[in-house]
Amino acid sequence: MHLPTQNQLSPTHSQSLVLPFSAIDCTMLNLVGGKAANLGELTQAKLPVPPGFCVTTSAYLLIADQANLTSLIKQVSHADTGNGSSLANNASLIRASILATDLPAAIAEAITTAYHDLSGGESVPVAVRSSATAEDLPFASFAGQQDTYLNIVGVAAVLDAVRRCWASLWTERAISYRTSNEIDQSTVSLAVVIQRMVDAEVAGVLFTANPLTGCRRQMVIDANPGLGEAVVSGMVNPDHVVVDVDTGAIVERRFGDKRIRVQSVEGGGTEHISLSGQDETFCLTDQQIHTLVELGTQVEAYYGAAQDIEWAIDSAGQCWLVQARPITTLFPLPAEAAQAKDTLRVYLSVNVIQGVYRPLTPLGLAAFRLIASSIVTFMGLPLRDRVAGPPFVIEAAQRLFFDITTPLRNAWGRNLLGRVMSAGEARSARVFQELPADPRLALVPFSRPALIRRVVTFVWRARMPHYALQALLRPVAARARVMALRDQLSAQSKLVPSVSAEERMTVIEQLLGSKLVPIFLSIVPVVLINLAVMIPLTRKLLGNSATEDERQVVLRGLPYNPTTEMDLTLWHIAQRLSSDDAIAQLLSTTPSEQLAQRYRGGTLPGTLQR
């Protein structure tokens, strides 16, 4: 298929209303939306993008003003998204207002001129796609939130499709999704991409990183005969390919049933053709797969991040980029993570061990680093930067991880980690049992005498044998000592209200950096003795009559377990509140945000306010 180049599409006199892809870049997000900004960037990068133009947000703002949408949008912004009928009614009113408003002459003229420039004066098929200003962003994927119209032919049909794209900004689904991502409804507007249609023989999506495993060195391709709509909408089970980026090897190839083919209809529109039986023919050749991988590599390199790409291959075998957006579902890798596939780093999530699944605050991360630095210093190991923490303390997505690769490549360290995880995190322990099979974690030689000397020195300096014997022989005295240490730590952390913020931070830094660790290390033997005695004891007493998880339940029921005591306290509070019908009704019918506001304002009933 012959498509005109972007150089044949020049900016019109109504440049603020319509822009060709060649005049668009990523700095124009507010004017052209996410989709058009990406297509403009790819066009300027000389990648194979079907030519087209963008009806900018300036045109949408004109129609929104003419339709008097301001008051309706305010109603949507302040509405309770949990109230489905109210949301549906407000959204429907906005869409109806847009569709009923006459298109301003300046907009119609600008689109008509740009369409004729694109088509050379003929009625050629185009794809009309929404491009919202809150779309295809690094932190959220708005794919499918607004409408797309394929194989639109003629000026009148294009103008109608543009109007319907504007209206699709205000579906219930789009409004709810923006609300959940804390995007102000009043700041959102919509541009529309009009792009020369590729009459695809085969089309689909390409992920430049494996979205299921998170592997950055694998690309995943889903393909189906005909237009890519069948794959993007999920209406078919497509052919599936996984390619190793480093070697180019196809590591997985799975046939899809490909029961539906979406194809263009002469004169405009598309049709869905049901295909009988399962097609055992793969719809991509190996050469086409490698071409797509090469194209994906170029797009990812241009953006510097993994991409979700829509592509199409026409009857001449030309591969086209239809869209590209960031993959927003990949968990970020630590900055220190190895990029080479033959190197494996293993990170243990401190958040998961602590049961804190949400991101830590910057202050929390800094505190953990200081504590880790204090432990390393106590062991007599060198440390470059006490504030930055030791090298094994890693941060990713504001979560804390320990790089445990080195101990996993050590026979003693591997055994110790396995035992500790079996006692404290049974689900992770199963992973530790499988990791040694990976050749990238093969054992490396180490100096056993040097390690023994370092461990013995550390244990003796921390007086761990003394505290362990006390916990074993005099458990009541050991607990009394631990309680006294708790009170000592609490007293040291108390500050008079008049101290400055700088003085407060200095005291906290000293506490975390030097005073906390000796106290912590004197408590560790008590915990270890408890685990060393109680875990084998429960296994002996319960035998095969209880599973490992059930034995953990028994252990959590022992006296002085702080987690269990906190749970019991919360349970007692819930029991007391549920016995009051008025309080129970208030809690069950009032949104949590409103309860929080009332608590801060001191307007909750006395029982709750306390």
Taking only the tens place, the pLDDT of each residue in 231-268 is: 988 888 999 999 999 899 999 999 998 889 999 998 88
In this structure, are strands 393-396 and 399-403 parallel, antiparallel, or unpaired?
antiparallel
Q: What is the pLDDT of residue 10?
A: 42
Task: State how far the alpha carbon of 320 is from the alpha carbons of 123, 208, 228, in Å.
Answer: 21, 16, 12
Does 485 lie in the same domain as 569?
Answer: no
pLDDT for 79-101, tens place per residue?
Answer: 655 555 777 888 888 899 999 99
Does 150 lie in the same domain as 223?
Answer: no
Mean predicted confidence (pLDDT) in 507-519: 83
DSSP string of 536-555, one letter each residue = HHHHHHHGGGS-HHHHHHHH
552 in a structural domain: no
* pLDDT reading at 152 higher than 90: yes
133 in a structural domain: yes
Does 159 lie in the same domain as 18?
Answer: yes
572 in a structural domain: yes
How much of the chain exceeds pLDDT 70, in percent? 92
Q: What is the pLDDT of residue 144?
A: 56
Distance of CA 532 to the CA centre of its chain: 39
Choose from 30-34, 54-58, 137-141 the range with maximum mean pLDDT: 54-58
List the domain range (segments joined by +) for residue 51.
6-196
335 in a structural domain: no
Q: What is the pLDDT of residue 294?
A: 96
Q: What is the pLDDT of residue 471?
A: 84
Q: What is the pLDDT of residue 8?
A: 42
Q: Considering the entire predicted model, what is its pTM?
A: 0.72
Q: What is the pLDDT of residue 503?
A: 84
* pLDDT reading at 384 higher than 90: no
379 in a structural domain: yes
CATH number at residue 107: 3.30.1490.20
Does 122 lie in the same domain as 183?
Answer: yes
pLDDT for 460-489, tens place per residue?
Answer: 888 888 888 888 888 888 888 888 888 888
* pLDDT reading at 140 higher than 70: no
Q: What angle do CA 547, 553, 560 make, to 5 degrees?
A: 150
Residue with the larger pLDDT of the pair 562 and 348: 348
Q: What is the pLDDT of residue 222?
A: 96
Q: What is the pLDDT of residue 165?
A: 94
Domain count for the chain: 4
Dihedral sign for Cα 325, 329, 334, 340, please.
negative
Q: What is the pLDDT of residue 83?
A: 55
Q: What is the pLDDT of residue 84?
A: 59
Query: Helix/strand/coil (H, E, C) string of 145-177?
Result: CCCEEEEEECHHHHHHHHHHHHHHCCCHHHHHH
542 in a structural domain: no
Q: How many residues does the chain have?
A: 610
* pLDDT reading at 194 higher than 90: yes
283 in a structural domain: yes
**Helical (H) or strand (E) element with 345:** none
Does 487 lie in the same domain as 565?
Answer: no
Does 513 lie in the same domain as 367?
Answer: yes
Domain boundary residue, one of 488, 522, 537:
537
Say which amino acid occupies 16: S
234 in a structural domain: yes
Task: Give the count of beta carbons closer than 10 Å to the beta carbon of residue 356.
Answer: 14
